[in-house]
Structure 1
Amino acid sequence: MGLYDREYSRETEPGFHVSAPSTLTTRLVLVTAAAYVAQLTLGVAFSANLALWSEWFSQPWRCYQLLTYGFLHDPNGIEHILINMLVLWMFGRELEHRYGKFEFAAFYLAAIVAAGAIWSVLETASGSEGVLLGASGGISAVVALFALNFPHRQVLFMFFIPMPMWVAALIGLAFDVNGAMDRSGNVAFTAHLAGALFGLLYYKFGWRLGGVFEKLPRGMPKRRPKLRVHDPDQPDDEDDLGRKVDAILEKIARQGQDSLTWNERRILEKASRRYQERRK
C-alpha cells in the first residue's frame, strides 16, 4: 500500500458519515452511559451484582466488583453520572492525547480498582458495611493527574468560577478530606481520596501500565499486501517512508504525541510535505 493510500492521506468524501467515537475517553463515557441504562432497565438485581460490597473479601470470587462498580451510578438521580462523565470528558481527552490511548485506559481502570480496594479496606477496618458504586474514584485520579500535568491551566470551578487547575484541585481535595473525616452522608469520600492518591503516585513515580493492553490481540490478522504496478512518478523511498510513518502513528497511539523524538517529528513533517506537493 502506497503512502497516499493510507487513511490519513485521503480526501474526505462529501455527504453524511457515521463512524465510531475517535477517542477512548468518549468510548468510556458511552460504555458508562450504557451501563446506566441497563441499571434503569434491569432493576436492583443488576446493580447489586456489579456494585462493590465492602465485605467482598469473604467471597473472593466477587473481586470483579472492584472494576464493575466504576461503571455504575445512582439510579435515583442523573446528577451523579452527568457530573462524573462531564469531568471525564473534559480532562480525559487531553490526558489520552498526552499518554496514549492504551496507557490512559490502563490508568483509568487501575485507578477505579485501587480506589475500590482502599475503600473496602478502610470500611472493613472501621467495622462498617457498605456498598460502593460510581466512577468518582477514577475521576478523582483523572483530575489529580490533569492538575499535575497542567497546573496553570485555567478552568471553571463549579463550571463558572475561573481559576488555575492546581487551585481547583486543592479545593476539591480539601472538600474530600473534610467529608472523609466527618463520615456523613452517602458520598464515599475515602474512595475519592484514594483515587487522587493513585493519580499522584502514578505521576510521581512515572508508572506505565499500558503494556497490558498492548499485548492483547487486536483485530483480524493482516492480509498479505496486494500486488500493484510501480508508479515511476512516486519517489523510490515511498514504501520505506510509509512504514516509518505507520510505526510512528502506532507509537503515538500507545504512548502519546509527547513521546516522539525530534527525528520522528521530522519524518512526519516530511510525509506531510510530500502529500501537500502531490495534491498540487
Structure 2
Amino acid sequence: MGLENRDYLRDESFRYSSGPSYGSDSPTCRKLIIVTLVVFVAQVLGTRQWTQDELIERRDSLIAEQQIDAADELAVGNDLRRDNRITQNTPLDYRTLGLPPAVPIVQQWFEMHTSRVFTGQIWRLLSYAFCHDRNDLLHLAFNMLLLWVFGRRLEAIYGSTEFLIFYLTSAVAASVAYLGLDLVTGDNVPMIGASGAVLAVAMLYACHFPTQIIKLFLIIPIEVRWVVVLITVFDLYPVLRMLSGEPVGDSVAHAAHLGGLGFGYFYSKRNFRLAPFWQNTQTWFKGKRRGFKVVRPDSSGSSAKTTKLANEMDRILAKISEKGEASLTKGERKTLEQASRELRDRRG
C-alpha cells in the first residue's frame, strides 16, 4: 500500500473522522443550499409572457396527445370523451392550455430537457438540479432539509471537495437515468428539482448509518435503511409500468430518483473517490492547453524507498498511539515531515 493510500496522510478531502459526527461548519452544504435558493428567487422574479408561437406549439401538442388517447380508448372499446377537448379553434390562452401565467426564464434555460440536450445543451444534465417548482415551496423545502440533515454528516466524513463532486455527479447520474427512460418511452417532458442528487445523499447516508432511527412523517420511528428501501420501491414500480407502456400520470421524475439512489449505492459499495479523478482530469487539460505532455514518472526505481518510508511511518504512528507525540525523537519527526512533503509533491 502506497503512502497516499494511508488514512493518516490523506488530505482534508479524504480524511475520515474517528466516528460519525456532524460537521461544525459544513461549507459545501451551506453553499449548495444558498445557490439553490438564489436560483429559486431568480425563477420567481425572472419571468416573461408566453409568445404566440409557444401557445400554438402547446395547443398542437395537446391536440396530438388527445388523438393518441382517443386511439387507445377506441382500441379497448371505450367511448370517447368529448368534454373539454382542445381543438384548432381553442383560444390561445395560457389558462385554457394548462400553462402557468408566465415563463420563468432561468428555468427555461436550466431545466432538464431530453431533446435539447441532444442539440448540444449538455449543461442541462446538471443545471436542472438547482431549479424547483415555483408553485410548490414544499418541493424546495423538503429537498434542502434532507440535504442539510444527511449532507452535513457526510461532508464531515468525506470532506468538502469530495462531497461537492459527489453531489454534482449524483445530479448528472439522475438526469442520465431520466434521459434514458425518455428515450425508451418516447417522452420529452422537462424535469427540474434536486431530488435525484438528494436521494443519492440519503442512500450514501443509509449505507454508512443503516440502523439510525429517524421519524418518518415526524411521527413514525424507523431505521434509515428501510426509508431508503421504501423510496426505492415507490419509484421503481411506476418506472416498470412506464417501461411496459402504461401511462403513470403523475409529475414525479421516478427514473431520476432511481438514478440518484443507484449512484449513491454504487459509490458506497465500490468505495469510489471522485476528487482524484477530477484533479487528474484538470491536470491533463492544463497540460494539453499549454502544449505539455503529461507523463507519470517511472516508479520502479523509487518503489523500495517509498515502501521503506511507509513502513517507518506505520512504526512511528504506532509509537504515537502508544506513548504520545512527545515520545518522538528528532529523527522520527523529520521522517513525518519528509512523508508529508513527498505526498504534497506527488499531488502537485
TM-based fold match above 0.5: yes
Indicate the residue corresponding to 2:40 in structure 1: 36
Q: Conserved in 1, the CA contact under 8 Å of 2:170 and 2:260?
A: yes
Q: 1:158 to 1:179 in 2, by over 3 A?
A: farther
Letter in 2 for 1:184: G
Aligned equivalents of 2:228, 2:196: Cα separation in 1: 14
Distance 1:270 1:71 in 2: 47
Written as runs of structure 1 = structure 2, the 5 A alignment for 1:148-227 is 148-182=207-241, 183-211=248-276
Counterpart secondary structure, 1:52: coil
Take 1:85 and 1:56, find their aligned partners in 2: how far apart are those partners? 27
Deviation of the 1:206 alpha carbon: 1.1
Which runs of no fewer than 5 residues in structure 1 stay unpaired? Answer: 1-20, 218-260, 272-280
Contact 2:26 2:155 in 1 (8 A): no
Higher relative contact order (CA 8 A, sep 6+): 1
Return the offset for 1:126.
0.9
Offset, 1:160 = 2.2
> Is the contact made by 1:105 and 1:210 (CA closer than 8 Å) also made in structure 2?
no
Aligned-residue sequence identity (percent) comes to 31
Deviations 1:156-204 (A, max 9, x none): 1223211111111111111111233343211001100011000111111
Per-residue CA deviation, residues 118-174 of structure 1 (Å, 9 max, x unaligned), is 211211221111101000110111111111111011111223211111111111111
Letter in 1 for 2:123: Y
Contact preservation (8 Å) 1:96, 1:104 = yes
Q: 1:98 to 1:181 in 2, by over 3 A?
A: same
- 2:271 and 2:210 map into 1 onto residues whose CA distance is 17
Q: 1:28 to 1:127 in 2, by over 3 A?
A: same
Is the 1:142–1:199 Cα contact (8 Å) retained in structure 2?
yes
Which amino acid in structure 2 is aligned with residue 91 of structure 1?
F
5+ residue gaps, structure 2, are 1-24, 48-103, 242-247, 284-314, 327-348
Structure 2 contact 201–264 (Cα < 8 Å) conserved = yes
Q: Does residue 1:45 correspond to 2:105, yes or no?
A: yes
Q: Rate the CA distance shift 1:129–1:80 in 2: closer, same or farther, 3 A.
A: same
2:166 alignment partner, one of 107, 125, 130? 107
Q: Please say if residues 55 and 124 of structure 1, whose CA atoms lie closer than 8 Å, have aligned partners that are also in contact.
A: no
* Aligned residues of 1:51 and 1:68 also touching (Cα < 8 A): yes
- TM-score normalised to structure 1 length: 0.68
Structure 2 equivalent of residue 68 of structure 1: 127
Q: Secondary structure at the match of 1:186?
A: coil
Alignment partner of 1:87 out of 143, 146, 150:
146
Q: Do structure 1's residue 131 and structure 2's residue 178 form an aligned pair?
A: no
Larger radius of gyration: 2
Contact 1:71–1:134 at 8 Å: present in 2 too? yes
Match of 2:119 among 40, 59, 70: 59
Find the aligned partners of 1:211 and 1:138 in 2 and give their Cα distance. 20
Contact residue 155 and residue 164 of structure 1 kept, 8 A: yes
Does structure 2 retain, via aligned residues, the 8 Å contact 1:157–1:163? yes
Report the Cα distance in structure 2 between the residues aligned to 1:125 and 1:48, rounded to whole angstroms: 24
Amino acid at match of 1:52: M
SS at match of 1:155: strand
Residues 49 and 97 of structure 1: CA distance in aligned 2, closer, same or farther (over 3 Å): same
After the TM superposition, list the runs of 4 or more consecutive aligned residues in structure 1 that deviate by more than 6 angstroms: none
- Structure 2 partner of 1:275: none
Work out the CA distance in 2 between the residues paired with 1:42 and 1:262. Answer: 60
Q: Label 1:24 to 1:262 Cα distance change in 2 as closer, same or farther (>3 A).
A: farther
C-alpha distance in structure 1 between counterparts of 2:201 and 2:316, whole Å? 29
Give the TM-score taking structure 2 as reference length: 0.55
Alpha-carbon distance between aligned partners in 2 of 1:102 and 1:94, rounded to the nearest angstrom: 14
Aligned residues: 206
